[in-house]
Amino acid sequence: MQLRQSERRQAKIKIGLQGCAGSGKTYSSLLLAKGLTNGDFSKVAIIDTENGSADLYAHLGNYNVLSLAPPFTPENYIKAIEVCEKAGIEVIIIDSISHEWDELLDFHSKLAGNSFTNWAKVTPRQKAFVDKILQTNAHIIATMRTKQDYVLNQKDGKFIPEKVGLKSVQRDGLDYEFTLVFDVDIKHFVVSSKDRTGLFMGKPEFTISENTGKEILEWCNSGAKSVEVPKVQNTQDEVMPSNPTSPNGINGAAKATSLPKVNPYDAFAAGNNESFVPSQNLKHTSEQEVYEAISRCNTVQELYALYKSFPQFQESLKVDFEAKKSLLMNLTNPNNFSQNGHNKIQ
């Protein structure tokens, strides 16, 4: 664990767009995407679950469409997002994610047994879907249908029924996961019900345009460049423990148990030109002795035994252990040798 000072970094926006049927969610999403790509629709993809509604706005530009057919399972949504990622898409519109929740509710209703405990079979699937949205290295715009109702509004002395959206059709609390949530009404006016950017919160209603997307893009790019956060090294995880007997470097407890047991003294074997003899008590062995022993290891197994025997030098000699390990693995890889027996390693 490591403390650091807070810093605004460049980000990929995650936007939720919720509204009743006919409020213009798809159209608004495309306008946002156009602004987020500076007008380059070739970098935009829309995952369409609305029976081809994405193609209705083809006049806006040549964006990409991925039609998703039933069943609308979280797993199918995840696969669709991965297709977009592999294609290098910068803005992914998911229209809509309400079908995913409807599918899970239907799945839950068909499960036998206790209804409450059955949610344990639903929640992990929902979480995997939400995590995919949040962790995708692309801007995400997810639309959600809202439950509909009608209210009577007075206009010119008459009461006229108007359609309004209520709660979104998705799991409670999903809006907390988004950076920005827009509520769209039947007249296509938008207000922000959640805004971590500070661009729209508290402002009067407006209509979404391409400039709205550009404004969001400017905010996304205003921070410092994102850097990969270094993983906290577990005290149980070590530099060396790639299984030398497995070409795939399998991790876990199995790799340690599958290693042959080697006497640590064997790692000091240096043939006829031995420059030193290790201390009889390995606890008194110096760092210099271990350093020289690393160079004399002839197998990864010997190197691993040496590494395990001197935890006090694992960090200071980390580079040396890794370099020797890489050399030994290359030397024992048959692909590094041509048929005439010459080593291919330069």
Angle at 344 between CA 343 and CA 346, to 5 degrees: 105
Pair 311, 189 in one domain? no
Q: Which DSSP helix (H) or strand (E) runs through 145?
A: strand 139-155
- Single-letter amino acid code for the residue at 255: K
Alpha carbon 238 to chain centroid distance?
Answer: 24
> Looking at the 3D structure of the chain, how many domains does it have?
2
pLDDT value of position 89:
96
| 201 plus 325 within the same structural domain | no
Question: Do the domain assignments include residue 27?
Answer: yes
| Per-residue model confidence (pLDDT) at position 17 | 94
Q: Specify whether 103 is located in the same domain as 53.
A: yes
Shared domain for 287 and 206, answered yes or no, is no
- The answer to whether 68 and 94 are in contact (CB under 8 A) is no
Q: Are residues 182 and 273 in the same domain?
A: no
Residue 242 domain-assigned? no
Mean pLDDT per 10-residue interval, the chain, length 346 residues:
80 92 92 95 94 89 93 95 95 94 93 89 93 94 82 73 69 87 91 91 91 94 61 43 41 37 43 40 70 82 83 82 78 51 43
> How high is the pLDDT of residue 309?
83
Q: Is the dihedral of CA 31, 34, 36, 39 positive or negative?
A: negative
Q: Comparing C-alpha atoms, which of 10, 6, 7, 8 is closest to residue 220?
A: 10
Tell me the CATH number at 183: 3.40.50.300
Where does a domain end: 177, 195, 220?
A: 220
| Residues 176 and 34 reside in one and the same domain | yes
Domain boundary among 220, 239, 262: 220
- 11/139 Cα distance (integer angstroms): 9
| Same-domain check for residues 193 and 257 | no
Indicate if 199 and 261 belong to the same structural domain: no
Residues 112, 38 share a domain: yes
Q: Which of 199, 220, 241 is the last residue of a domain?
A: 220
The residue segments making up the domain with residue 260 are 253-336
Structural domain includes residue 233: no
For residue 42, what are the CA distances in angstroms to 12, 46, 65, 89? 18, 11, 10, 8
Q: Which has the closest alpha carbon to 259: 276, 287, 240? A: 240
CA separation (Å) from 183 to 48, 144, 161?
Answer: 20, 10, 20
Residue 67: inside a domain: yes
